[in-house]
Amino acid sequence: MEESLITIASYDNIFEAELAKALLEESGFKVYLLNERMMGIYPTVAADMYRIELQVPSSDEESASRILESLGDESFTSELLSASGALLEGHFLLTSGKHSGNYVEKIRILQKPESAAMLCRKLAERIGKFEFDAIVGPAYGGIALAFETARILAKDFIFTQRKDEQMTIRSGFDLAAIRKVAVIEDIVTTGGSVFEVIKCMQDRGIEVVVVAALVDRSGGKVDFGISFEALLSLDIPVWDAEVCPLCAQNHELVKPGASDKKPVH
């Protein structure tokens, strides 16, 4: 007699369902998705009528459910970054001027709006407990993330940019009713850009109550003096050029984000 299937989770988009399916399959479970085909053929219409149901054999219901429940933001974010090809290895020149053997290519995430939207929902869950009037995104990496998270939380959105080497709020925004803000960045390494944003806000009498990021590359070493919520913490070594072991081994240095990825001299 064939064992019955039990639905242990449901999703409103294919990507998230496939990600959960892959995670369970890696743990040895047989996993099935119900309504996946319908969502793939008619995504707009089907989304209003169905949800993708993740099913496992009834004998695996309890153990598979426990694994899904244990998959926190770190596991989810790590798997999504890996699936998007955003975790790179090599010899990289960071925006801070330091060198590293690893790099998170966030453009791979932003290129897929559905993936970025899922991460923004996670960010919204993390900062939703704080009271603030708007969400600030530093140009350029934080803009899309801050905008989508602000949309989810029904908050105002503003962004900052450097002008004459000073971080400033983009002209045109109405700040009259903004007293407290959250700052969202994509990747934090030394926190330099976020510190600039915090000072920029303080200079205008605006309080930053929380900072959030997709990835904290410092492994928890950066201290902004306020709450810091990161979906994923990675303790990735970085070095000054003078003591970089990869330079000593003559590994080619590349600048991430450069369109041609030419060596940096």
Residue 108 maps to which CATH number?
3.40.50.2020
Q: How far apart are CA 212 and CA 155, in angstroms?
A: 15
Closest CA to 17 of 127, 43, 125: 43
Burial 23-58 (b: 16+ CB within 10 A, else e): bbeeeebebebbbbeebeeeeeebeeebbbbbbbbe
Statement to judge: residues 127 and 241 lie in one domain: yes
The winner for highest mean pLDDT among 80-94, 167-181, 249-263 is 167-181
Give me the amino acid identity at 263: P
Is 27 a domain residue? yes
Other CB atoms within a 10 A radius of the CB of residue 61 amount to 16
- Please write the tens of the pLDDT for every residue from 49-107: 568 899 999 999 999 988 877 667 787 888 788 878 888 999 999 877 899 999 988 88
Statement to judge: residues 20 and 83 lie in one domain: no
Other CB atoms within a 10 A radius of the CB of residue 260 amount to 6
Q: How confident is the model at residue 177 (pLDDT cuts 50, 70, 90)?
A: very high
Is 35 a domain residue? yes
Statement to judge: residues 63 and 89 lie in one domain: no
Cα distance from N-terminal residue to C-terminal residue, the chain: 68
- Choice among 46-60, 96-110, 151-165, 195-209 with the minimum mean pLDDT: 46-60
As for how many domains the chain has, the answer is 2
Statement to judge: residues 115 and 238 lie in one domain: yes
Strand-pair partners of 32: 55
Statement to judge: residues 51 and 92 lie in one domain: no
User: Which residues 6+ apart lie within 8 Å of 155 measured at CB?
Assistant: 132, 133, 134, 135, 182
Of 49, 71, 93, which residue sits at a domain end? Answer: 71
Statement to judge: residues 31 and 129 lie in one domain: no
pTM above 0.85, yes or no: no
Q: How confident is the model at residue 175 (pLDDT cuts 50, 70, 90)?
A: very high
Statement to judge: residues 139 and 243 lie in one domain: yes
- Choice among 1-5, 142-146, 228-232, 252-256 with the minimum mean pLDDT: 1-5
Statement to judge: residues 60 and 119 lie in one domain: no
Statement to judge: residues 17 and 55 lie in one domain: yes
Statement to judge: residues 116 and 44 lie in one domain: no
Is 257 a domain residue? no
Statement to judge: residues 132 and 29 lie in one domain: no
Q: How far apart are CA 12 and CA 52, in angstroms?
A: 6
Statement to judge: residues 66 and 177 lie in one domain: no
Q: How confident is the model at residue 249 (pLDDT cuts 50, 70, 90)?
A: very high
Range of the domain at 132: 78-248
The pLDDT score that the predictor gives to residue 39 is: 55
